[in-house]
């Protein structure tokens, strides 16, 4: 009886719809085409992890109820900057994702996004150090999952104790610390901006009062920035590029006479082309007239008309031949003229003086 009840329960399960079958196939393709796929919510949300320059990026793939008829939603974490990602960390500029339908392969689409991040690495915000130092009160650490707004509010509420030197110890840079990178540095032919450091070693020995004075005095601040190696390198590169542009401009001016001469020759060739084009059009028109005049169908029509005229003339001559009187009379009249002419010719030959 228990088996009968079990069989009855299995028979009452509804058959999967075509949309559910396609949804299951798309999920299988997602797992087959990508590594590190984690199921967050069955048939609804999945996470795909990938590593870009030592940073783990998570792609959260959310499947809508009418998937795969409706396209999925892909969001990324942690926050980053990339042409394909908007401010809400959602992938919006992937063509395959925007044009997704049931005939697309979800695994290949997500794999294409991963490869795009590997080809063109995104920019990440600066990461805070995880070391436990003497932070001000109410300043949240990274382990507490604090938001930037909470962090800013806590800094505003913190008032340092008056002292000649800062009581906060200097935080040494981590070897894995993030460095800002130019997004077009890897593009050929584009100038690669020097990396801007996340911290300034010149400020580590200054007190809070000195830092405030430096912040209030714009000239000193600009002087300190101008002494940075990255800024000096940028200035040197600017001078070098200006010199290169000047040399290139002079070379272009030297090539100007050659360009003008080539332009003149090109205009002459263009005029010759127009003349030859006119001649070609005239000859083509004449050729069309001749071809139309001596066309096979035209010649056949003319030959047919001539044959009909000859047939009519032959019938007329046959009718006259049957009439003996008319034929003999006409023959005598026709022969008289040639005999008279022959006699006159003979007389002129014998007596040329006549």
Q: Could you tell me the two tokens for 147?
A: 């938001």
pLDDT at 197: 66
Q: What is the pLDDT of residues 204-261, one digit of tens each?
A: 778 888 888 888 888 888 888 788 887 888 888 888 889 889 999 999 999 999 999 9
CATH of domain 15-119: 3.10.110.10
Instruction: With both helix axes pointing from N to C terminus, report the angle between 229-254 and 218-226 in degrees, rounded to the nearest 10.
Output: 70
pTM over 0.85? The answer is no
Phi, psi of 57 (to 5 degrees): -110, 130
**pLDDT recorded at residue 266:** 94
Q: Where are the alpha helices (DSSP H) in the chain?
A: 2-11, 18-33, 95-98, 106-119, 148-157, 208-216, 218-226, 229-254, 256-293, 296-322, 324-350
How far apart are the C-alpha atoms of 208 and 120, rounded to whole Å? 40
For residue 316, the model assigns a pLDDT of 84
pLDDT band at 339; cut points 50, 70, 90: low
pLDDT tier, 272 (very low <50, low <70, confident <90, very high otherwise)? very high
pLDDT > 60? residue 304 = yes
Q: How confident is the model at residue 350 (pLDDT cuts 50, 70, 90)?
A: low
- Is the pLDDT at 195 greater than 90? The verdict is no
DSSP 8-state secondary structure symbol assigned to residue 75: E
Domains of the chain: which residue ranges? 15-119, 192-254, 297-350
State how far the Cα of 284 lies from the Cα of 272, in Å rounded to an integer.
18
| Confidence label for 13 from pLDDT (cuts 50, 70 and 90) | low
pLDDT, tens only, 278-299: 999 999 988 888 888 777 887 8
The answer to whether 108 touches 123, Cβ cutoff 8 Å, is no
Does the pLDDT at position 147 exceed 50? no
Residue-averaged pLDDT of the chain: 75
């Amino acid at each position: 009886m228990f088996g009968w009840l079990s069989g009855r329960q299995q028979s009452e399960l509804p058959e999967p719809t075509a949309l559910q079958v396609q949804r299951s196939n798309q999920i299988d393709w997602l797992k087959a085409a990508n590594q590190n796929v984690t199921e967050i919510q069955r048939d609804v949300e999945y996470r795909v992890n990938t590593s870009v320059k030592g940073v783990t990026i998570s792609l959260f793939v959310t499947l809508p109820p009418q998937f795969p008829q409706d396209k999925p939603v892909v969001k990324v974490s942690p926050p980053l900057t990339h042409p394909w990602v908007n401010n809400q960390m959602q992938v919006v500029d992937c063509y395959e994702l925007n044009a997704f339908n049931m005939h697309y392969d979800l695994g290949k689409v997500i794999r294409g996004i991963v490869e795009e991040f590997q080809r063109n690495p995104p920019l990440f915000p600066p990461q805070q150090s995880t070391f436990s130092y003497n932070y001000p009160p109410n300043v949240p650490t990274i382990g507490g999952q604090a938001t930037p707004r909470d962090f800013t509010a806590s800094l505003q509420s913190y008032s340092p104790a008056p002292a000649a030197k800062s009581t906060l110890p200097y935080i040494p840079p981590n070897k894995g610390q993030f460095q800002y990178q130019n997004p077009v540095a890897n593009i050929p032919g584009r100038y690669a901006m020097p990396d801007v450091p996340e911290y300034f070693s010149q400020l580590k020995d200054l007190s809070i009062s000195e830092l405030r004075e430096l912040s209030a005095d714009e000239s000193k601040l600009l002087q300190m920035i101008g002494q940075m190696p990255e800024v000096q390198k940028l200035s040197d590169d600017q001078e070098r590029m200006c010199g290169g542009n000047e040399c290139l401009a002079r070379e272009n001016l030297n090539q100007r006479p050659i360009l003008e001469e080539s332009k003149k020759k090109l205009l002459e060739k263009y005029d010759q082309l127009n003349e030859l084009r006119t001649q070609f059009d005239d000859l083509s028109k004449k050729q069309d007239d001749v071809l139309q005049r001596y066309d096979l169908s035209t010649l056949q029509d003319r030959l047919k008309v001539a044959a009909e005229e000859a047939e009519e003339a032959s019938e007329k001559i046959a009718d006259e031949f049957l009439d003996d009187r008319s034929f003999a009379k006409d023959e005598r009249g026709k022969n008289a003229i040639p005999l008279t002419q022959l006699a006159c010719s003979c007389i002129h030959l014998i007596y040329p003086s006549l």
